[in-house]
Amino acid sequence: MKFDDLLELGDIVDIRYPAKGFIVIKPYGMLAIKNLYRLFERELEIDGHEPVHFPAVIPERNLRLEEEHFKGFEGEVFWITRAGLNELEERYVLRPTSETAIYPMYALWIKSYRDLPVKYYLSGTVWRYETKSTRPLIRGREFLWIETHDAFRNESEARSQISRDLEISKRVIRDRLKLDFIMVKRPSWDRFAGAVDTYAVDTLLPDGKVLQIATTHYLGENFARVFNVKYMDDTETERYVHQTCFGIGINRILAATIYNHADETGLRLPSSIAPYQAVIVPIHPVSDMYVDRVTEIYSKYRLKVDRREGITPGNKFYYWDKRGVPIKIIVGKREEENSTITISTRSGIKETIPLGEDLDKYFEYYDDNIKQTLKIYDAKDLEDLKKILDAGGIARAPFCSVEKEGEECYRVIKERFKAEIRGVRIDVDEKPEGKCIVSGRKAEYVVYIAKQY
RNA sequence: GGGGAUGUGGGGUAACCUGGUUAGCCUGCGGGCUUUGGGAGCCCGAGAUCCCGGUUCAAAUCCGGGCAUCCCCA
């Protein structure tokens, strides 16, 4: 089913808000988003992160401090130039990302090696003035995300955080949301503005374009130097901290989850974020007492009892199927008389089981059933590449270089195929064979190529 | 930045070419009655021609401008 239809059908968002690139997220979508936030926040906290709040406005002066960073964002920030009747002496920007809001405070807070590491996360909203065409949840001018900002004593501690960030992605995105993805190190020409290295989690949408859903950056000392984030080490030497930051695109992850798992009927939400994991559908005649008992017994799940009158059970089943509810619990006279319930999963299983029997296995079965697998194919030459891209897949190909020397080959891919070099896989070890798919020079890397959002 | 297309109730559409019924249909939404084991039926109701101007007895329809959205190209 088409993405926009799914959003409409599932009552996820309302795109009629009268400002381009801004949308309203309705309760059913917001409940899923809150569950999504909790999944990530829990993992981040287990990893030692603490929550923090920072203002949405950043003074212009701060944003300008890191030159490369400023250049990267200058064209897409919203400026606040007036307040009330006054022209502001110093303009603000609405944060497009929070490095330049947070690090001046880190400079005040971090004094000693004993203060490190600092690992904070911020769950919130950022604003970017997107000039490309916007799409609900996928590319908006306002979006919800989580960003972590970590400071360490040295490079090796910082770099080991990157693998922990990526493990968190695996645990949530793959294990809980059942989305498949690749983790790549971005080519040098595609780094986050101001970063030393950028790593990303890319998934593929059914329309054949990849979507970046999370990124983690190694910032080195770049920001520490301009924001003066220093500490005294145990030999009484002043040093700059080494920093990482990790951005988790909540809107985009929701979009990918909805779009990838949907079928012709409608949504199929993973049980980990479904607003209602199971809907109880009472069928007349059944006593309220029995329905209440069922609700009580299964209260460890997020439940909804559909007591609407004047609607046939079949219509209720269809209604909740469209909205992606994993399991329906049917209770009627037959169940009440035998102390049973009837389980009907979104994937088609229907079974009557004794009241009280655990439902976990049904959720597991359902979740496994919706699991996504990426379409990745090997491209030996440019003809292969074209076929793969046209078929809506991701191509794996030998490539000369992901540093500056490879940029010319990248231009060819970009111009001729409108595709991007997503980068070099870091979650699997790969050795290149043969020659660069574009230049024919010796291939030093295996890269992934796809059209992107 | 250049080109093209399209704007009709909440969503999807018909009527537009060739101006003329009460702007039709499906769905969704609200209410009533009858219903309840996989999309029930009947009845009632709310809800639309993007904006400004022009032509005309008469404009959703033709013309001009604006705005918005989408697609393609840089």
Give the domain ranges of chain A: 3-261, 276-370, 376-452
**Gap from A451 CA to B72 C1', in Å?**
16
Residue A184 scores a pLDDT above 80: yes
Query: Quick one: which of A435, A433, A423 has its CA closest to A381?
Result: A435
Mark residues 81-100 of chain A whose C-beta is closer than 7 A to nucleic acid strand B: none
**What pLDDT digit, counting tens, does each position of A114-170 carry?**
999 999 999 999 999 887 778 899 998 999 999 999 999 999 999 999 999 999 999
Mark residues 259-298 of chain A whose C-beta is closer than 7 A to nucleic acid strand B: 283-284, 286
The three-point CA angle A224-A229-A235 to 5° equals: 110
Query: Quick one: which of A374, A278, A284 has its CA closest to A326?
Result: A278
**Gap from A135 CA to B53 C1', in Å?**
34
Look at residue A1 in the predicted model and tell me its pLDDT.
Answer: 85
List C-alpha distances in Å: A277 to A5, A257, A322, A335: 22, 15, 14, 21
**Gap from A133 CA to B17 C1', in Å?**
32
CATH number at A376-452: 3.30.110.30
**How many Å apart are CA A330 and CA A157, to the nearest integer?**
53
Look at residue A325 in the predicted model and tell me its pLDDT.
Answer: 97
Q: Which residue has the tokens 């701060």?
A: A62
Look at residue A114 in the predicted model and tell me its pLDDT.
Answer: 97
Look at residue A19 in the predicted model and tell me its pLDDT.
Answer: 80
The total number of residues shown for chain A amounts to 453
Asked if strand B comes closer than 7 Å to A2 Cβ, the answer is: no
* Eight-state DSSP code of residue A176: I
Look at residue A332 in the predicted model and tell me its pLDDT.
Answer: 95
Q: What are phi and psi of A86, to 5 degrees?
A: -105, 145
Residue A17 scores a pLDDT above 90: no
**How many Å apart are CA A48 and CA A117, to the nearest integer?**
10
Pick out the nucleotide with least CA–C1' distance to A19.
B68
Mean pLDDT of A81-109: 94
Mean pLDDT score of chain A: 94
Residue type, A114: R
CATH number at A3-261: 3.30.930.10
Asked if strand B comes closer than 7 Å to A342 Cβ, the answer is: yes
Asked if strand B comes closer than 7 Å to A321 Cβ, the answer is: yes
Mean pLDDT of A14-43: 92
Asked if strand B comes closer than 7 Å to A315 Cβ, the answer is: yes
Look at residue A215 in the predicted model and tell me its pLDDT.
Answer: 96
* Eight-state DSSP code of residue A233: -
**What pLDDT digit, counting tens, does each position of A245-280 carry?**
999 999 999 999 999 999 989 999 999 999 999 999
CATH superfamily of A276-370: Anticodon-binding domain (3.40.50.800)
Residue A228 scores a pLDDT above 90: yes
Asked if strand B comes closer than 7 Å to A335 Cβ, the answer is: yes
